[in-house]
Chains A and B, each alone.
Chain A
Amino acid sequence: MNMNAVNSLSPQLDAEKLPPPETPWQEFVRVYKKDRMAIVSSIVLAILVVVGISGKVFTEWVVVFDSEVVRLPDKFLPPLSAPSVDVVPEEDLPILSLYVFGTDELGRDVFARMLQGSFVSLSIGFVAVGISLVVGLFLGGLAGFFGNIKLLKIMTVDTLIMRFTDVMLCIPTFFLILTVVALLPPSIYNIMIVIGLFGWMGTCRFVRAEILALRQQDFVVAAEALGLPKSRIIFRHLIPNAIAPVLVSTTIGVATAILTESALSFLGFGVQPPYATWGNILNDGRGFIFDAPWLFVIPGMAIFVVVLAFNLVGEGLREALNPKLRRR
């Protein structure tokens, strides 16, 4: 919009009276900007990413906020209280001599733990979704593009992949995640991988559907008729056009993964110490609802805000990227 305004003011471009036609990107930005919820959520997410990275930096590399110091005499202090200076040794005092989010049952600084957890929680979300995205895109693309190649003369690639997807869809997902996580050692990587590996089926299905639909479209047919190399067709024409729904499902997928991690924590199969995640901080806190409610409320609300932000951004993207919905 601003660019257009500048353009029309500039005398050199008098010849072009009409503003140039909107590119899809500009159109997307215009629609997205109107969605105030999505904008606010995007800002929240941007802040979150900064928090996550600083969480890694300031609790592990340059220890400004030490999440591991145990100060038993200072246990269960409510948020914004000051440490008891006479009992706690000086080197153990929190920064600014203030427990912003209070302390937990071991007298650890909840703020530092939340900060550290933000990075782990986010990375679980992103890595898990990344895995499911890669698997889903790969299998979906394979099924969509090379679907009619016959294998051993009995079935096509498409049938094979889609039947496999069916198999995976058949298994009650959370239950299976639970089974696998319970049986495997609960390392943080296993949890990421398991959440990721059981979440690709949706992506796979609609990538395939999208590609099948796109292949019928004139521009792809034309590209094929021109004899363009397959890789160019795939990467230049198909993937960029199929990416919109993938983007939406990725955003919402991150939200789901964070929630799944907290649900696993509740059942005792979440990420184990020494890693702090919002899920396991919340789970540790639930035993002390009556004694120290902030241990439950703070991580709970943090998860809520972040997941909501991811969901609303996803919804905003869906609205802005859906050409049918956009038209009116």
Chain B
Amino acid sequence: MRLKRWLLFAPLLLTVFLLQSYFWVPTYEHQATGNPKRLVTYIQGSSGDAKVLNPILNADSASSNIVGHVFEGLLDLDADLNLRGRLATEWAISEKAYLFVSASNRFPDGTEVTGTQLINRIRAALKEKSFSTLAKNIKDIQVLPPEKLTQKISMTEKGEDGKPKRGEVEISFNMPARVVFSLHQVDQDFFTQLMPVIGDRYLENFPYDQHLNLPEGIQPEIETQIHAQLADLFPVAEHNPIIDFQLRKGVRFHDGHEFDVGDVKFTYEAIMNPKNLSPRTSDFEPIKFVKVLDTHRVRVVYKRLFSPAINAWMMGILPEHLLNAEAMQQEMEKRELSDAARAAFGMRDSQFNRAPVGSGSYQFVEWQSDEFIHLTRFEQYWEGPAEYHEFFMRIIPDLFTQEVEFHAGALDDYGAQPHQVSRYREDAQYQNFSSLGFGYSYIGYNNRRPLFADPEVRKALGMAINVGDFIKYLLYGEGERITGPYPKNTQWYDPSVPPLPYDPEGAKAILMSLGWTLNADGWLEKDGKVFEFNLITNNGNPIRKNIMTIAQNAWKKIGVKCNTQVFEWAVFLKDFVNTAQFDAVVLGWSMGVDPDLFQLWHSSEAGPQQLNFVGYNNPKSDDLIVRIRQEYDVKRQREMTHQLHQQIHEDQPYTFLYAPLGTKVLDKKIVLVQRDEDGNETYEKIYPTKSGNIEFYFNKWRKLEMTPDF
């Protein structure tokens, strides 16, 4: 029977064919040893694919990782988290301060204000001894003649359907004569120090109405909106911080094109171009204009005092010649797009984002979606080529398979979990590192809720949780206790603030003293109401889920009833956090290196969709937050951040839990290669920088054939 035979043979044949393929596949052993190229190839496992390989557009960590290798910014952070020049070799910060000649005002002695009077009085005053520090900072004083400015102002108007609609109005403003001071250093108190000369109330009561020309037939509501903005748009006293960058000469992009000042200006303009929908606009929004001085010198002038603004220049610089209007036009032609698509075509649509060209240490080779991204080292990198020749990011969504591949040697690096790290620690084949990063976890209480309005209550809740045990058992020591809002590895963090003690009895005593009593069921009760609330978090984060369970358990022991719920991220944000419809949340922040906490903690940022969703409100803190972001002197900044840290610790709007340690497990064969001038190699053990960055010297890493003895 032919059919019968086929029915038996077919499965047999198929099985044999499929299984024999096993003999063609190299074993892990063979892959690792029989292949010298493997030693100069670094393969990193990532659970998610990159989205956009463009420094001004990316927002996810996988993209940032690749972009960080392919692109380079003007600046970056050195081993101690201070700024360091990359594409810029030097930079200098100065200031121009402007003051209206406010003709309607009078000097303290009653005489009228005029331009010449103002400048003469200031010049005279600066010669006095009491003004000597101020005088030292002033490079130059001049008077600018009056001028007429036209400007577009954004406003919201009522649309036809009654919903608010955003729009713009063009107004013209007759700028009065101004005195301009060139300062050596930025000084946020500059005008305050001038007060004895110009009068304490000089900055108030400027008659904006007389200087304003509105277009015909404007609605009165919009007019009030415009008036409200005038003092911010045309302040009587204005600080314009200035950064002058000297760019590195002879740097080339991966395609050989030389980097110059045009690329810097282009990158800034690309970010501000509304068509590109860059998520980085707010970092660059304080910039007034970027001015080219010569091919390798550029001046950035800011609208107002905002000291963290310089950090934005760590972002990678785009090659202008590949992305300017002309290049975009060519791409549209090549892709034969329809007119509708052309009209909407922006940098986001460009194929550049899938095959980027930058000036960083690695250049792009290939990207297979959800499979891998391949980079190769850039031989002409200005700092010399990296030790690893090839760099791969492999996308492996499942953490278990990642670990299996790492174990087998097919991955050099993956995001090891704390419990895995503790296992590798005992394995002689691996070296592992733990160091502080920029993140921390917390339980945030909705400060608006009457239940949590009292700082003492929040303190008691914090005291009931044994964070030490949590770090010991659940993080296997891969975490550090924290007490305040700054990353522990930065100088802004005040290490002298003591953490809350673990003291459930003390916590109970505090609550009892506030009028809570234990009821028959063992719950705390006041005015007939049980101390009960919901604690929520997002799903997909097992550690947060564990924090929740542990907090619930701990609070149960002091008689506080807590119900826990987990929501999908989008729902969690939309229905609970953004609308402040929650009692308490378990969350974490990933902070930046700058000391600006405005968005997280300032009381003006507590509205819907804003980040101070716990509704923290303390005028003392508000004042400090604003002064910190306007201060350009690091030492003074540090004093203020320590004060702010202490203040927030006292108020306990969050229970600050811990900062997880960044961990990395690597094969011991991977070492740091140092070369002397003759090209001789010496090897060192890899070490994290003081600030906790493990990959800081990545360009000097390489894998050796034998495990070295250190």
B-contact bits for A97-109, CB 8 A (1 contact / 0 none): 0000000011100
CB-based contact B566/A289 at 8 Å: no
Contact partner of A274 among B539, B564, B575, CB < 8 A? B564
Q: How large is the interface on B (under 10, 10 to 19, 20 to 34, 35 or more residues)?
A: 20 to 34
Contact partner of A72 among B423, B469, B565, B575, CB < 8 A? B469
CB-based contact B566/A106 at 8 Å: no
Contact partner of B423 among A107, A182, A291, CB < 8 A? A291
B408 located at the interface, meaning its Cβ lies under 8 Å from any Cβ of chain A in the complex: no
CB-based contact A106/B564 at 8 Å: no
Instruction: Give Cα A283–Cα B423 distance, bound, in whole angstroms.
Output: 21
Instruction: Give Cα A68–Cα B554 distance, bound, in whole angstroms.
Output: 11
Instruction: Give Cα A182–Cα B540 distance, bound, in whole angstroms.
Output: 12
CB-based contact A182/B568 at 8 Å: yes
B281 located at the interface, meaning its Cβ lies under 8 Å from any Cβ of chain A in the complex: no
Q: Which residue among B417, B540, B549 has the maximum number of chain A CB atoms within 10 Å of its CB?
A: B549
A-contact bits for B237-278, CB 8 A (1 contact / 0 none): 000000000000000000000000000000000000000000
CB-based contact B417/A186 at 8 Å: no
Contact partner of B549 among A269, A272, A273, A289, CB < 8 A? A273
CB-based contact B566/A272 at 8 Å: yes
B396 located at the interface, meaning its Cβ lies under 8 Å from any Cβ of chain A in the complex: no
CB-based contact B571/A72 at 8 Å: no
CB-based contact B549/A70 at 8 Å: yes
Chain B's closest residue to A288 (CB) is: B419
Contact partner of A68 among B546, B553, B565, CB < 8 A? B553
CB-based contact B400/A289 at 8 Å: yes
Interface residues of B in 535-571 (CB under 8 A from A): 539-540, 542, 545-546, 548-550, 552-553, 563-568, 571
Residues of B within 8 A of A68 (CB): 549, 552-553
A56 located at the interface, meaning its Cβ lies under 8 Å from any Cβ of chain B in the complex: no
A-contact bits for B558-596, CB 8 A (1 contact / 0 none): 000001111110010001000000000000000000000
CB-based contact B542/A284 at 8 Å: yes
A61 located at the interface, meaning its Cβ lies under 8 Å from any Cβ of chain B in the complex: no
B399 located at the interface, meaning its Cβ lies under 8 Å from any Cβ of chain A in the complex: yes
B474 located at the interface, meaning its Cβ lies under 8 Å from any Cβ of chain A in the complex: yes
A23 to chain B, nearest CB (A): 41
Residues of A within 8 A of B553 (CB): 68-70
B-contact bits for A67-81, CB 8 A (1 contact / 0 none): 011101101000000
Instruction: Give Cα A290–Cα B399 distance, bound, in whole angstroms.
Output: 13
Chain B's closest residue to A108 (CB) is: B549
Instruction: Give Cα A58–Cα B566 distance, bound, in whole angstroms.
Output: 25
Instruction: Give Cα A105–Cα B546 distance, bound, in whole angstroms.
Output: 9
Chain B's closest residue to A272 (CB) is: B566
Interface residues of A in 278-328 (CB under 8 A from B): 284, 286-291
CB-based contact A106/B400 at 8 Å: no
B533 located at the interface, meaning its Cβ lies under 8 Å from any Cβ of chain A in the complex: no
Chain A's closest residue to B473 (CB) is: A72
CB-based contact B540/A290 at 8 Å: no
Contact partner of B539 among A69, A268, A291, CB < 8 A? A268
Instruction: Give Cα A178–Cα B564 distance, bound, in whole angstroms.
Output: 24
CB-based contact A185/B567 at 8 Å: yes
Chain B's closest residue to A69 (CB) is: B553
Instruction: Give Cα A274–Cα B474 distance, bound, in whole angstroms.
Output: 19
CB-based contact B550/A186 at 8 Å: no
Q: Which residue among A72, A75, A269, A286 has the maximum number of chain B CB atoms within 10 Å of its CB?
A: A72
A214 to chain B, nearest CB (A): 37
Residues of A within 8 A of B567 (CB): 185-186, 272
Residues of B within 8 A of A273 (CB): 545, 548-549, 564-566
B551 to chain A, nearest CB (A): 10
Instruction: Give Cα A107–Cα B403 distance, bound, in whole angstroms.
Output: 24
CB-based contact B473/A75 at 8 Å: yes
Instruction: Give Cα A272–Cα B542 distance, bound, in whole angstroms.
Output: 11
CB-based contact A73/B473 at 8 Å: yes
CB-based contact B568/A185 at 8 Å: yes
Residues of B within 8 A of A70 (CB): 549-550, 553
CB-based contact A72/B474 at 8 Å: yes
Q: Which residue among B419, B469, B472 has the maximum number of chain A CB atoms within 10 Å of its CB?
A: B419
CB-based contact B546/A186 at 8 Å: no
B554 to chain A, nearest CB (A): 8
Instruction: Give Cα A157–Cα B474 distance, bound, in whole angstroms.
Output: 60
Instruction: Give Cα A26–Cα B469 distance, bound, in whole angstroms.
Output: 63
Contact partner of B568 among A186, A289, A290, CB < 8 A? A186
Chain A's closest residue to B546 (CB) is: A106
CB-based contact B550/A287 at 8 Å: no
B627 to chain A, nearest CB (A): 42
Instruction: Give Cα A70–Cα B470 distance, bound, in whole angstroms.
Output: 11
Chain A's closest residue to B540 (CB) is: A268
Interface residues of B in 60-102 (CB under 8 A from A): none
Residues of A within 8 A of B575 (CB): 185
Residues of A within 8 A of B403 (CB): 290
Residues of B within 8 A of A73 (CB): 473
A127 to chain B, nearest CB (A): 21
Contact partner of B399 among A72, A75, A287, CB < 8 A? A287
B-contact bits for A173-192, CB 8 A (1 contact / 0 none): 00000000010011000000
A-contact bits for B412-425, CB 8 A (1 contact / 0 none): 00000101100100
B464 to chain A, nearest CB (A): 13
A90 to chain B, nearest CB (A): 14
Residues of A within 8 A of B472 (CB): 72
With A72-B474, A75-B473, A273-B545: A186-B539 Cβ-Cβ less than 8 Å? yes
Residues of A within 8 A of B539 (CB): 186, 268, 272
CB-based contact B540/A287 at 8 Å: no
Contact partner of B400 among A105, A186, A274, A287, CB < 8 A? A287
CB-based contact B474/A286 at 8 Å: no
Residues of A within 8 A of B420 (CB): 290
B286 to chain A, nearest CB (A): 38
Chain B's closest residue to A75 (CB) is: B473
Instruction: Give Cα A84–Cα B252 distance, bound, in whole angstroms.
Output: 65
B211 to chain A, nearest CB (A): 53
With A272-B565, A272-B566: A105-B571 Cβ-Cβ less than 8 Å? no
Residues of B within 8 A of A274 (CB): 563-565
Residues of A within 8 A of B565 (CB): 272-274
B159 to chain A, nearest CB (A): 29
Residues of B within 8 A of A287 (CB): 399-400, 417, 419, 542
Residues of A within 8 A of B571 (CB): 185
With A72-B473, A186-B568: A106-B423 Cβ-Cβ less than 8 Å? no
A87 to chain B, nearest CB (A): 10
Instruction: Give Cα A186–Cα B419 distance, bound, in whole angstroms.
Output: 28
Chain A's closest residue to B466 (CB) is: A72
With A68-B553, A72-B473, A291-B423: A286-B400 Cβ-Cβ less than 8 Å? yes
Residues of B within 8 A of A106 (CB): 474, 546, 549-550
B405 to chain A, nearest CB (A): 14
Instruction: Give Cα A290–Cα B402 distance, bound, in whole angstroms.
Output: 13
Instruction: Give Cα A185–Cα B552 distance, bound, in whole angstroms.
Output: 22
Q: Which residue among B403, B420, B553, B563 has the maximum number of chain A CB atoms within 10 Å of its CB?
A: B553
A38 to chain B, nearest CB (A): 28
CB-based contact A105/B399 at 8 Å: no
B204 to chain A, nearest CB (A): 52
Interface residues of A in 105-164 (CB under 8 A from B): 105-107
Interface residues of B in 380-428 (CB under 8 A from A): 399-400, 403, 417, 419-420, 423
Interface residues of B in 406-462 (CB under 8 A from A): 417, 419-420, 423
- 6 new A-B contacts, CB < 8 A, other than A273-B548, A274-B563, A287-B399, are A72-B472, A72-B473, A106-B474, A185-B568, A186-B539, A268-B540
**Sample of 20 A–B contacts (CB below 8 Å):** A70-B550, A72-B469, A72-B474, A105-B419, A105-B474, A105-B546, A185-B567, A186-B566, A186-B568, A268-B540, A269-B568, A272-B539, A272-B565, A272-B567, A273-B548, A273-B564, A273-B565, A286-B400, A287-B400, A290-B403
| 9 shortest interchain CB distances as A-B pairs | A72-B473, A272-B566, A70-B553, A268-B540, A72-B469, A185-B571, A70-B550, A291-B419, A273-B566
